[in-house]
Amino acid sequence: MMFGIFKKKQTNAMDGVIRAIYGNNPPANSADLERAITIAHEDLLAEQVPISDVRRIASGLAAGPIPYSTYDLAVAASLSFFKTPALFNTLAEIQVPARLRVLNWMKSGKVAPGVMKIFEDALYQLYKPTAEAAGETGEKFDEADRILGAKFSAFQKQNAGQPLHHAAKVVCDFMIWQHNFASIEMPDDRTDKQEDHAKRIERAFLFGASGMAAQGFSLGRADEELFMLNIVGMYDGLGPDDAENEVARIFEAGDAEEKANRIGAASLVEYLVNGKSDTHRVHLAALQRECWGQ
């Protein structure tokens, strides 16, 4: 008898959770598990967590009673890792881009508002800088974080429908600004190995910036290849064939230099919403400093 009562209470509690997320008329479970695993692993967690771990968590959630869509399941699975204390340092640099992606997905109808709210509220509380670490009040940084997200959302609304060439030029201008400052610190006696490493970091930085720009200007997946070719054509002055080869190298660098990829994305957000500032022109230079000490 006691077990039956306990089970009934559990069921009622879960019904309450589902209603809190999806309302009084929750949808049927429509999640594509494999697609959700890929989205969580690549788009939200930036491949910082083994895909086997993502699969384990996502599979468990998919087997549960919550009627996730594919993107809802991806968000819920990734949240499990963002909430893991042992991964805080690893995931700290990618949590802002992840939050912006989820917000964008919610606006386009891919993620339920209730799922987005749980994700945003959790990451906001977990990753907000502390007063001790920042040397200033935590409230100030909390507000700055929310303002940045709001500004990026406003930027998306204001720039939806901008020509692809315009978006590519923005990325090109951003990269020239970063590169020119970084070149000041390049030693005259740098070796070929050092220069190759620095170029790989620059490509990864560009890869991250381009991906975030595609979101900022609301470009579709069908436009991504042409977008990258436009960027490379302007930034490196390459023709079509050489540009295709360079884009392939950029994608490879994005995988090899994940930190530069993430920082490029975050830096581009700051650039889009706040413009140029001395504080934020140093990111590529800071990443490449490790090359010169090799």
CA distance 108 to 162: 18
Alpha-carbon distances of 49 from 41, 45, 52, 233, 237, rounded to whole Å: 7, 7, 8, 34, 37
Contact between 261 and 204 (Cβ < 8 Å) = yes
Residue 44 to residue 79: CA distance in whole angstroms: 9
Condensed to tens digits (0 to 9), the pLDDT of residues 41-84 reads 998 998 999 999 999 999 999 998 889 999 999 999 999 999 99
Return left, alpha or beta for 264; rule: phi > 0 is left, psi -120 to 50 is alpha, else beta. Answer: alpha
Residues of the chain with pLDDT under 70: 1-14, 16-17, 128-146, 294
Q: Where are the domains of the chain?
A: 14-127, 160-292
The amino acid that residue 75 corresponds to is V
Secondary structure class of 13 (helix, strand, coil): helix
Q: What is the reported pLDDT for 14?
A: 60
Q: What angle do CA 119, 124, 127 make, to 5 degrees?
A: 115
**pTM for the whole structure:** 0.56
Residues with Cβ within 8 Å of residue 3, at least 6 apart in sequence: none
Cα gap 282→271, rounded to integer Å: 12
- C-alpha distances out from residue 277 to 63, 218, 269, Å: 48, 25, 13
**Spatial contact of 75 and 106, defined as CB atoms under 8 Å apart:** no
What is the distance between the alpha carbons of residues 185 and 109, in angstroms, rounded to a whole number? 45
- How far is the CA of 125 from the CAs of 83, 85, 91, 115, 266, in angstroms? 10, 13, 14, 16, 19
Neighbouring residues of 27: CB distance < 8 A, sequence distance ≥ 6: 67, 69
- The reported pLDDT for the residue numbered 27 is 83
202/185 Cα distance (integer angstroms): 14
* pLDDT for res 200: 94
